Amino acid sequence: MLFDILTIFPGFFDSALQEGVLGRAIINGIVKVRAIDLRDFTADRHHTVDDRPYGGGEGMVMKPEPIYRAIETLKGEPPPPVTVLLSPRGRVLDQTFAAELAGLERLVLICGRYEGIDERIHDHFVDIEISIGDYVLSGGEPAALVVVDAVSRLMPGVLGCEASASSDSFSDGLLKYPQYTRPADFMGHRVPDVLMSGDHARIARWRRERSLAMTFKRRPDFLSVVRLDEKDAEFLNKMGWRPE
């Protein structure tokens, strides 16, 4: 999958794209990420990307022309991209949305700065807007990185162990069960015995129940949409959960 990131700070991505799972996916050629400098698409000698807002008010607004030119240039190269504006007004990224995006061949991610981007880009030149949560960042770059990371780890071959993405939080609609490693006793806090029992059926049931309990405690809203079997419902009922 190809991610083209349009930004006025291409250096922002340098170290993040070299590390860990994402760095390996790039080295292995499963994912390609290009951080493209929006200033290369300006037409004046100062490489201006922003201007004062019409109607007055605080701050600066990103001009439409460099963004338009960059989008058109990138559209001229195959494969055809889906253009994405990172924006607090966009559809909030969750695991389902990330999985939908992982099915695409190419994304152009446009990072805003300042007070945001001229509305005509929102209205006429992007396919979707994505928010990474209900808070305001100083720029779209951290959001673009979140999108690249969350989407990439869902692509075949990116995670060392294929099972890991499917057992992540959210993948089955629940939060993930707790994990432990050595030592078995850490400052008097012991790893649950069941995990050292070698009984795989009991371990699987324990993990399912911990996932259910964690989700009930922290994100009970998930339980109204997740697929629960009879055993799950019985376990949750005992904890005080009632289906809506």
Q: Which is nearer to ligand SAM, 110 or 212 (CB)?
A: 110
88 forms part of the interface with ligand SAM (CB under 6 A): yes
Q: Which of residues 104-133 bind ligand SAM (CB under 6 A)?
A: 111-113, 115-117, 131-133
Q: Which amino acid is at 119?
A: E
Q: Which listed residue (19, 79, 135, 240) binds ligand SAM by CB under 6 A?
A: 135
Whether the Cβ atoms of residue 83 and residue 71 lie closer than 8 Å to each other: yes
23 forms part of the interface with ligand SAM (CB under 6 A): no
Question: Total residues contacting ligand SAM (rule CB under 6 A)?
Answer: 19
Q: How far is residue 27's CA from residue 15's CA, in Å, rounded to a whole number?
A: 14
Q: Specify which residues 110 forms β-bridges with.
A: 6, 85
Contacts of 235 (CB under 8 A, 6+ apart): 209, 212, 213
Q: Which amino acid is at 225?
A: V
Q: Which residues are catalytic?
A: 88, 115, 153, 168
Whether the Cβ atoms of residue 77 and residue 94 lie closer than 8 Å to each other: no
Q: Which listed residue (138, 188, 238, 242) binds ligand SAM by CB under 6 A?
A: 138
Q: Transcribe 80-99 into DSSP letters.
A: PPEEEEEEEEEEEP-HHHHH
Q: How far is the CB of 66 from ligand SAM (least distance, A)?
A: 14
Q: Which is nearer to ligand SAM, 83 or 87 (CB)?
A: 87
Q: How far is the CB of 160 from ligand SAM (least distance, A)?
A: 29
Positions touching ligand SAM (CB under 6 A) are 86-88, 111-113, 115-117, 131-133, 135-140, 143
